[in-house]
Structure 1
Amino acid sequence: MSANVLIYRRFSTDEQEQGDTLTRQSRMCEQFAQGKGWSVTGTLTDRGKSAFKGEHLLPDAELGQFAAKVERGEIPRGTVLLAERLDRLSRRPVQEAMAWIHGITSKGVQIALADTGQVFTANPTIETFLGTAIRAAQNHEESAKKSQRMISAKTRLWNLAERKQGAWTNLAGRVPLWLERNAECNGWIENDERIKIVNDIFQWSADGIGAVTIAKRLNEIPVEPWGVWRKKPGWGRTAIRQLINNPAVEGDFVPEAGMFLGKVLHGFYPRIVDADLVAKARAAEKSRKHTKGQRAKSGYSNLFAGLTFCGKCGNTAYLSSSTNRKGVKYTYIRCQISGEGRCEERGYFAYEAFEQTALDICLDLAMDDRFFQVTGELREAQIKRAELEKVIADKRARRKRIMSNFDEDDQDALDMARDLKTEIDGLTEELQQTIGDIERASGKVGAVEHLRRVNDIREAAMSDDPLVSQQARSKLRQAFSAIINSVRIERTNDGEKVFVIAFLGGVLGVRIDTQGQVIDSVSHALGKPLWQHLPADQQALAEPLIRRIKEHLIFPRKSGRG
């Protein structure tokens, strides 16, 4: 009689995947099924799942999912689960292994082993039961010894890597794609071309360019993506984001699984991106999650993307474009849901004149040294600051782990925590000195030079070169998000279309019409401007922006809004 047979294959480690273990398991099971006259209808495969740890029985494993279906009665009685050997199915203690086999066979599903020819049913003979139990016990004991050997070997390898002795680079299973091990496995060979591309990606990200645009730029150059594992040709945004957040660019080895999960080995890889650029790129990438926006069909991008809302319904307002009867394109802001008839505000708010006025008011105040390339003394100080901040964060995390795990009688752990505290205090003092150096070096850039740099960025934002314009506008968008809370499209009581910019946590604002005229300040409460309710030190920070708004209110117009 032909049986419905499912072959089960499994391996535990990445190294096994490189060999022919799956092919061998399939071949042996297929030959056994053919000899029995059975028809193989499917294959279950668990890659990198340890039977000793029971990982292959978890809900995310194929055998675990199969067992759940058996329990629910979804697998027909008479089905055969065929494996190469018993240890493919279990290396757990004998009680667990035998209970699992009984749980499967009691539902009418048979278990067959190709190496011994055994077929287990719900009611095995005493000889079969005892023989299986003995083999299960032997498998578990063998796995326990193997696991202990592996732990000892990996611990030795970690210690070698800390000292960079012997074949220490073998600690990493998969190596970053800009590196390869040397022949002796005691050092790294760097791929300069790929390292340059990595640095370009970080610089673009720090400049405010998003992962989608970076991927598009690499594909247009074109730059061949790395890794044969890719299912689709070309770079993608996920790969870009993973690269930006990869600790290996800073030289850190951070295991994602296994016995060293949660540990960090600093300096395991060569650092390929300086600390300051890493910090800027990651901060910019994080901030873009909150400032997503649309680009108009004309190629014009909203400098306030992610900050622009409809004053009527509160939904996002987006940038779009249209062409008038004379063939002239113009850009406008519109409520996102107005086209669906779900918002009463259905108007189109002309954008370009408003943008120019907003740039006049606060561009040079929004853009500080974070947004410009720096060199010399200031550059060195910024790199040093980023490196110190990272070291301090790492040591604090290490001290926290020690303090949360050590026993009160463990004097060695207590001494280690105290030593770390002393180191952290010293590094924190050095960090404060470095911040002072940065402030002094930044002060060397005078007001005239700062305005020149800002005007260069503004001019680049209007460039006919799409790459130049895109990069400059990304920087401007990032700068505005630091001082602007929101931009709302509204109408006055007279029906006039206006943009309302809220600055500094909402305590300061300005209303600008679609012709770019500043109408008035909208930050009054209790008889005086809201910013005057702030403490004196915060008023001092707001003062330059307040002065600039007053300069634009040369002849305030009476608004229809009360």
Structure 2
Amino acid sequence: MQDDFPGNQHSSGPVRAYSYVRMSTRKQLRGDSLRRQLERSKAFADEHSLLLDDSLQDLGVSAWKGRNFKTGALGRFLAMVESGQIPKGSYLLIESLDRLSREAVPDALTLFMAIINAGIVIVTLGEDRQIYSRDRLNGDWTKLIIGLAVMSRGHEESQTKSERIRAVAKRKREQAREGKGHITSITPAWIDAKRIDVNRYEFTLNHHAETVRVIYEMATRGLGSTVIARKLNVDGVPAFKSKDGWYQSIIKALLSRPDVIGTFQPHRIQDSKRVPDGDAIENYFPAAIDKDLFLRVQAMRRNPGRPGRKGDTFANLLTGLCHCAHCGGPMTMKMSRVRGNENGRYLVCANYVRGHRCIEGNRHFRYEPLEAVILDHVKEINLAEVLQAARFATVLDAIDETIAALTLQLEGLRKKEQRLALAIEDDSLPPDAIIDLLKARQSERLAVEAELRHQQAERQRQSIRHDNSTNMGDRIAKLRVAWEQAEGATRYELRSEAHAAIRELITEISFDSTSSSAVVVIENGVSAYRVKDGRISGLFRAFAA
């Protein structure tokens, strides 16, 4: 067939034709589509003596949301047209207009006309071959009607397919919440999936689950992500996927993932972004660790001021706790420059050192005596079982009162929702007014439910912290003995673990340059010790023993 062809020669040589091949999924490569599209392009180019370029391919790229011209090969083609690298009069060969775009007709037409107005000739190579150019459309605009019909059909097909996929995905999420199915076979690295039905899988823990437990156990001992990654690499523990060992970022992410306790968060696509869909599903996966261990780590990670690794020996066991009494700024560690005391370490106000906001915090406090007095008296500092019990009971009583009040409030809101739902069937109030009230009550209920979950989690966190602190003094004392006999990385790990334990007891250490003393505040003010000249010189307790 010979078309009414506009020409096959540029002044600079043969006209070039660009074959554009697009397939939404790479699965289509298994079929005949790629061969068919390329053969039709070659036949057209040969028929009209065009120089064919078949490098323009978007394989596995959808045209539904315009990805092919926003980030794909079609977008690069358009950029070359605009820059003049592809001259006017060149040809774009496609199987059908729906290969170009499957967006809504106004958007698809805008793209189509942008190509036409840039002087490019579009040829569709399907059963009903069409040639579109600005001159042709000016002479016979009815061809545009054919193109609009193809654009509309392509968009409707993609929209219908998208709606069906969303409906299937929604049903899978609903079945998963009801315990009747699973959403996907994709699992965390420590879980294997075996299909047992259309939408059901058997999930089992694999050898990586033990690695997860070890990582969490190390985190409860106060080891940071960098130290944990280094230890795993030194011990030759295989990483989940990487052949290049463990990275700090992998450990950090793992220590906040709820799927280690079997919790799964479904997602959906909204505005081309992946967003959470509803509440997380508990017990979806088998748990790699128990919930108490997970919550202990989360409580430690929420503790503000946790430091990163500094040096090779964890020189400052009190890092993150020390502040200037005059300006509230952090204390920084400085090394002595005095001959004969080159290894001496001192704490001084960081703001004073940089000459900003502090003129009184000028004293340099010797670090070693402060660390020693705290470690020497750590059992005494931790004593206070009676003090801790009193404080713990007071905190739990307050939380329990809040939980009880929220539970009553939630029950009342649910009853109001039920009454409003029944009233929708009644004509006593305008439907719009009832619906507005129902929406307001639902919003209130969701807020109360969120606060109730927060309070319940806080109660559990307080219980875990109280249980952990009971033998903290003995634990720190044993660590001290161990690190005094250790070297290198082992010493660092032991001091890091002791640092985490100390932070469970000590809230803050305030340094007063005027009195040359430091005040060690225990358990948010349950008690406080004044330290001066390397010894405890004063004690204050909030509760009588």
The alignment's TM-score, normalised by the length of structure 2, stands at 0.64
Give the match for residue 172 of structure 2. Answer: 157
1:91-117 Cα distance to aligned partner (Å, 9 max, x none)? 222233213332454456776768788
Following superposition, the deviation at residue 425 of structure 1 comes to: 13
Give the match for residue 254 of structure 2. Answer: 243
Q: 1:477 aligns with which of 476, 499, 507?
A: 499
Give the match for residue 101 of structure 1. Answer: 112
8 Å contact 1:210–1:285 — kept in the other structure?
no
Give the match for residue 159 of structure 2. Answer: 144
Return the alpha-carbon distance in structure 2 between the equivalents of residues 293 and 465 of structure 1: 20
CA gap 1:121/1:267 in 2 versus in 1, 3 angstroms: farther
Following superposition, the deviation at residue 304 of structure 1 comes to: 2.5
1:345-395 Cα distance to aligned partner (Å, 9 max, x none)? 8986542222112334556646999xxxxxxxxxxxxxxxxxxx9xx99xx
What amino acid is the match of 2:215? I
8 Å contact 2:205–2:286 — kept in the other structure?
no
Is there any run of 5+ residues in structure 2 with no aligned partner, and where? Answer: 1-13, 386-402, 426-437
Return the alpha-carbon distance in structure 1 between the equivalents of residues 450 and 351 of structure 2: 52
What amino acid is the match of 2:370? F
1:23-65 Cα distance to aligned partner (Å, 9 max, x none)? 9869967995997435688877886xx543556677xx55898
Identical aligned residues as a percent:
20
Give the match for residue 351 of structure 1. Answer: 367
CA gap 1:283/1:76 in 2 versus in 1, 3 angstroms: farther
More displaced 10-residue stretch of structure 1: 139-148 or 423-432: 423-432
The correspondence of residues 118-517 of structure 1 with structure 2, limited to 5 A, is 125=137, 126=141, 128-162=143-177, 164-165=179-180, 168-169=181-182, 171-172=183-184, 174-185=186-197, 186-227=200-241, 230=242, 233-258=244-269, 261-263=276-278, 264-287=280-303, 290-297=305-312, 299-308=313-322, 316-319=330-333, 329-333=343-347, 349-360=365-376, 365=381, 451-464=473-486, 466=488, 469-482=491-504, 484=506, 486-487=508-509, 491-492=513-514, 500-501=518-519, 503=521, 512=531, 516-517=534-535
CA gap 1:311/1:108 in 2 versus in 1, 3 angstroms: farther
Following superposition, the deviation at residue 276 of structure 1 comes to: 0.7
What amino acid is the match of 1:144? Q
Return the alpha-carbon distance in structure 2 between the equivalents of residues 286 and 435 of structure 1: 11
8 Å contact 1:206–1:281 — kept in the other structure?
yes
**Secondary structure of 2:263's partner?**
coil
Following superposition, the deviation at residue 208 of structure 1 comes to: 1.9
What amino acid is the match of 1:277? L
1:426-446 Cα distance to aligned partner (Å, 9 max, x none)? 999999999999899899x6x
8 Å contact 2:379–2:474 — kept in the other structure?
no
1:383-418 Cα distance to aligned partner (Å, 9 max, x none)? xxxxxx9xx99xx9xx99x97xx978679x999999
CA gap 1:121/1:410 in 2 versus in 1, 3 angstroms: farther
What is the CA RMSD across the aligned residues, in angstroms?
5.9
CA gap 1:193/1:313 in 2 versus in 1, 3 angstroms: same
Following superposition, the deviation at residue 66 of structure 1 comes to: 6.6
Return the alpha-carbon distance in structure 1 between the equivalents of residues 203 and 485 of structure 2: 41
Is there any run of 5+ residues in structure 1 with no aligned partner, and where? Answer: 370-388, 522-528, 532-538, 545-562
1:171-199 Cα distance to aligned partner (Å, 9 max, x none)? 22522111222242544353442101011
CA gap 1:302/1:409 in 2 versus in 1, 3 angstroms: farther
8 Å contact 2:196–2:202 — kept in the other structure?
no
8 Å contact 1:294–1:318 — kept in the other structure?
no
1:110-164 Cα distance to aligned partner (Å, 9 max, x none)? 7676878877655662354233222211112212322233234334434543455
Give the match for residue 542 of structure 2. Answer: 540
Return the alpha-carbon distance in structure 1 between the equivalents of residues 79 and 508 of structure 2: 52
Return the alpha-carbon distance in structure 2 between the equivalents of residues 244 and 94 of structure 1: 48
CA gap 1:20/1:336 in 2 versus in 1, 3 angstroms: farther
Following superposition, the deviation at residue 335 of structure 1 comes to: 6.2
What amino acid is the match of 1:292? P
CA gap 1:456/1:508 in 2 versus in 1, 3 angstroms: closer
CA gap 1:360/1:142 in 2 versus in 1, 3 angstroms: same
More displaced 10-residue stretch of structure 1: 134-143 or 332-341: 332-341
1:217-272 Cα distance to aligned partner (Å, 9 max, x none)? 22111122223xx5x72211222222222232222221243388423333221122
1:466-508 Cα distance to aligned partner (Å, 9 max, x none)? 5554444334433444565554666448xxxx56446376998
Following superposition, the deviation at residue 68 of structure 1 comes to: 11
Return the alpha-carbon distance in structure 2 between the equivalents of residues 18 and 112 of structure 1: 26
CA gap 1:221/1:134 in 2 versus in 1, 3 angstroms: same
Structure label with greater radius of gyration: 2
What amino acid is the match of 2:534? G
What amino acid is the match of 1:464? A
More displaced 10-residue stretch of structure 1: 106-115 or 175-184: 106-115
CA gap 1:470/1:197 in 2 versus in 1, 3 angstroms: same
Return the alpha-carbon distance in structure 1 between the equivalents of residues 350 and 500 of structure 2: 22
**Secondary structure of 2:192's partner?**
strand
Return the alpha-carbon distance in structure 1 between the equivalents of residues 32 and 490 of structure 2: 53
CA gap 1:21/1:335 in 2 versus in 1, 3 angstroms: farther
More displaced 10-residue stretch of structure 1: 343-352 or 276-285: 343-352
What amino acid is the match of 1:223? V
8 Å contact 2:19–2:92 — kept in the other structure?
yes
Give the match for residue 551 of structure 1. Answer: none
8 Å contact 2:483–2:494 — kept in the other structure?
yes
8 Å contact 1:500–1:509 — kept in the other structure?
no
CA gap 1:291/1:423 in 2 versus in 1, 3 angstroms: closer
Return the alpha-carbon distance in structure 1 between the equivalents of residues 384 and 32 of structure 2: 60
Return the alpha-carbon distance in structure 2 between the equivalents of residues 428 and 292 of structure 1: 26
What amino acid is the match of 2:236? P
Return the alpha-carbon distance in structure 2 between the equivalents of residues 2 and 187 of structure 1: 56
CA gap 1:238/1:120 in 2 versus in 1, 3 angstroms: farther
CA gap 1:424/1:336 in 2 versus in 1, 3 angstroms: closer
8 Å contact 2:228–2:251 — kept in the other structure?
yes
1:286-335 Cα distance to aligned partner (Å, 9 max, x none)? 336x32245235x1332232344567887654446689877984444466
**Secondary structure of 1:302's partner?**
coil
